[in-house]
Amino acid sequence: MDGPLHVLVLDDEPIVGKRLQPALAKVGCEVEVFDDPRPALARIAEKEFHIVVTDIRMDEVDGIEVLERVLALHPATKVIMITGYATVEVAREALAKGAFDFIAKPFKPQELRDVIAKAAAELGFKGLRQAAVD
Amino acid sequence: MATGCMGPMAPAREAPDIQRALLERPSISIRKRLALGFLALFFLCVAVTAAAWMMLARLEVRLRFLEMADHYTMEIQQARRFEKNYFLYGTNLQDVREHLDNAKGILDSSGAEAEKVLPPGVLKQMREHLERYDALLRRLEGMDRAGTSLPLQEKAAVEAEIRAHGSQMVTFAMDLAQKERTTVHETMALFQRLPVIFLAALLVVSVLVANFLARQMLGPLGRLMATTQRIAQGDFTPLVPARRFRDEFSNLAVALNTMMRELQHRQEVLVESHKLQAVGTLTAGVAHELNNPINNITLTASVLEEDYASLSDEERLDMVRDLVEQASRSEKIIRNLLDFARESEIKTESLDLAELLRGTTSLAANQVKLSGAKISLGLPENLPPIHGDKQALSQVFLNLVLNALDAVEKGGVVKIEAEPCKEPGFVQVNVADDGHGIPTHVLPHIFEPFFTTKSRGKGTGLGLSVSLGIVRQHGGDIRVQSLPGHGSTFTVVLPAARVPAVGDKRS
């Protein structure tokens, strides 16, 4: 598959989106960031992203719900969960419900890029990995 | 934890002083008082017995004297009968003499006794009459023996004199016997009354002694009973001396004081251990909450490092500001917990309940987020201040809020409301949840230590028991209402501070 990798990042901490946007754009991703789950879910209903990165614990809607909604609409989308506090149960639940992988806070942009690169590779994207390690 | 004491029951003196004061009083043991009471009764009996014995001895003397008086009277009467015969029929005077001598003998032998019984002078008069009668008889006898007969006139005079003295003697003798009989009867009557008087006196003394002993024993006993109830309520103020002496009850008071000191110490240990448990619960939430600012810092710092060269000054400044802001956010998250967890002296101060509840709620903020519940705070403006230990009360409310959060479903509401209580002088805080409620069979046990419905390792069962202990030490109470399926309301009632801000009351 060619073309940009469409990524949606959802975390109720605005700084997460603010920093990940350029960090992921740098490796050739088309990034949309949200700090509120509702508009994010509305956007997901409109557009099929290749990859959705979502925080698990948010006030309004939690990450597991987002995961279910995404997979219900777009089964091919790879969903990467951000867990605030690496609890085995939540991670296991997310994986059981079809999450691609999870990444524990605090993480560096490179760690997320590595996970995204893995997901991209599974989706058949090429070139991202190279960009990721530049 | 410090060995200080809570405000409302702050002892005026330190415990060892009180213990010493209890023991330094002179000892008058109950055993001694009982012995004294019964000794008093015994002496009463001894006195009554002695009195009875003495009266009996007197009665015996009287009776003997009465016998003598009767005997004397009889002799005198005999003498007079023969005297009459002599004058009427000219019989001899020998028989008169004989009886007169007998009467004299009786008077001589019983003179000492008669002296005691008779009024002064009477005995002398009796003797005089007797002597005179005797002398007259001798004269008559002398005349008879000489064969000379007196002139009739003279003889009549002697006869008249003899009769007069004789009748006087009879009167005296009968009077004496009569008097003595009366006295004996009086003594007998007194003797009959004595047991009745004694019984009445015994009854009065017994009632007095019993009353005294009962007061001596029931007084301290009641006081100790009241103390045990006070202890059950969580008031560990030591007993202070109430009397000027000590006894077996004083030893019990000393033992109770020692027990209270131990209980107080245990209570402090329990409170502390429960606080550590609460800190543990909060720590999980804090760790979770800390992840966000730390993640923000990590991401920002990493991007700053990666793209430092290509970023504009403005972008770099924005990132540095974010870093500073997120660092201070982390600090705030931890500071509350550290304030709560810090070991501190127990101190009582005037507290603004609204502020205390806001602080407690923010302490539990992470738990609130984790549970997905909402907190609604209802704090009116003009709440009276309360008087107490900030950390301990914060622990109570935190415990109730954490319990409520455990009880509610995601999206549930925990209402925290403060209001003046219906009972004047008290304020109350209601912590209400709309959770699963407490089953009716569990409700009576929830304040028992180590009672828990949580799974092993999740709860120690100390929370409510420790909270109740703390609130009772503040002179308040915790009440609970619960409807299974509809939620529970815990009401903490605390006395409002009457005097504005007296500060730390500890001496």
User: Per-residue pLDDT tens for B222-280?
Assistant: 888 888 888 877 778 888 887 788 888 888 888 988 998 888 888 888 888 877 878 88
* Identity at B360, one-letter amino acid code: T
With residue A9 as reference, give the H or E element that holds it.
strand A5-10
Name the residue with tokens 């101190």.
Answer: B347
Q: Which residues have C-beta within 8 Å of that of residue B65, sequence separation ≥ 6?
A: B110, B113, B114, B117, B180
d(CA A11, CA A17): 7
Which of the residues B290, B299, B321 would you substitute to probe the A interface, choosing the one with the greatest number of A C-beta atoms within 10 Å?
Answer: B299
For residues B416 and B377, the answer to whether their CB atoms sit within 8 Å is: yes
B262-495: CATH topology is Heat Shock Protein 90 (3.30.565)
d(CA B462, CA B467): 8
φ, ψ for residue A98, nearest 5 deg: 105, 10
Q: pLDDT at position B223, please?
A: 87
Q: pLDDT at position B505, please?
A: 42
B360 min Cα distance to partner chain A (Å): 21
A8 min Cα distance to partner chain B (Å): 17
B372 min Cα distance to partner chain A (Å): 7
Which of the residues A105, A114, A133, A134 would you substitute to probe the B interface, choosing the one with the greatest number of B C-beta atoms within 10 Å?
Answer: A105
CATH of segment(s) A5-123: 3.40.50.2300
Contacts with B323 from chain A: Cβ below 8 Å: none
Residue of B nearest to A86 (CA): B288
Query: CB-based contact (8 Å) between B369 and chain A?
Result: yes
Contacts with A105 from chain B: Cβ below 8 Å: 291-292, 294-295
CB contact burial B337-364 (16+ within 10 A = b; e otherwise): beebbeeeebbbbebebbebbebbbebb
**A34: pLDDT confidence band, cut at 50, 70 and 90?**
very high
φ, ψ for residue B383, nearest 5 deg: -70, 140
Its sign, for the CA torsion B414, B420, B423, B426, is: positive
Q: pLDDT at position B2, please?
A: 38
* Identity at B273, one-letter amino acid code: S
How do beta strands B426-433 and B413-420 pair? antiparallel
Domain boundaries, given as residue ranges, for chain A = 5-123
Q: Give the three-state DSSP class for B21.
A: helix
Contacts with B296 from chain A: Cβ below 8 Å: 13, 15-16, 19
d(CA B223, CA B242): 10
B501: region left, alpha or beta (phi > 0 left; psi from -120 to 50 alpha): left
Q: How many CB pairs under 8 A join A and B?
A: 58
Q: pLDDT at position B328, please?
A: 92
Domain boundaries, given as residue ranges, for chain B = 30-214, 262-495
Torsion of Cα atoms, B468 then B473 then B474 then B480, to 10°: 20
φ, ψ for residue B239, nearest 5 deg: -70, 135
3-state secondary structure B72-86: HHHHHHHHHHHHHHH
d(CA A27, CA A5): 9
Residue A131 has pLDDT above 60, yes or no: no
Of B2 and A71, the structure prediction assigns the larger pLDDT to: A71
Query: CB-based contact (8 Å) between B501 and chain A?
Result: no
**A16: pLDDT confidence band, cut at 50, 70 and 90?**
very high
d(CA B172, CA B127): 11
Diameter of chain A by CA atoms?
Answer: 37
How do beta strands B487-495 and B477-483 pair? antiparallel
Rg (CA), chain A: 13
B402 min Cα distance to partner chain A (Å): 18
| Minimum-distance CB partner of A85 among B287, B302, B326 | B287
ipTM of the shown complex = 0.91
Q: Does the beta-carbon distance from A84 to B291 stay under 8 Å? A: yes
B256 min Cα distance to partner chain A (Å): 51
Q: pLDDT at position B245, please?
A: 81
- DSSP code per residue over B217-234: HHHHHHHHHHHHHHHHTT
Which of the residues B288, B289, B290, B296 would you substitute to probe the A interface, choosing the one with the greatest number of A C-beta atoms within 10 Å?
Answer: B296
B475 min Cα distance to partner chain A (Å): 40
Q: Does the beta-carbon distance from B299 to A15 stay under 8 Å? A: yes
Q: Does the beta-carbon distance from A84 to B292 stay under 8 Å? A: yes
| Minimum-distance CB partner of A106 among B284, B291, B322 | B291
Contacts with B310 from chain A: Cβ below 8 Å: none
Q: Does the beta-carbon distance from B300 to A108 stay under 8 Å? A: no
Q: Does the beta-carbon distance from A15 to B296 stay under 8 Å? A: yes
B319 min Cα distance to partner chain A (Å): 9
Q: pLDDT at position B372, please?
A: 80
Those residues of chain B that have pLDDT short of 70 are 1-15, 147-150, 343-345, 455-460, 499-507
Could you give the residue ranges of the DSSP H alpha helices within B147-247? Answer: 152-232
Contacts with A85 from chain B: Cβ below 8 Å: 284, 287-288, 291
Q: B447-465 pLDDT, tens per residue?
A: 877 777 776 566 667 788 8
Q: Does the beta-carbon distance from A23 to B306 stay under 8 Å? A: yes
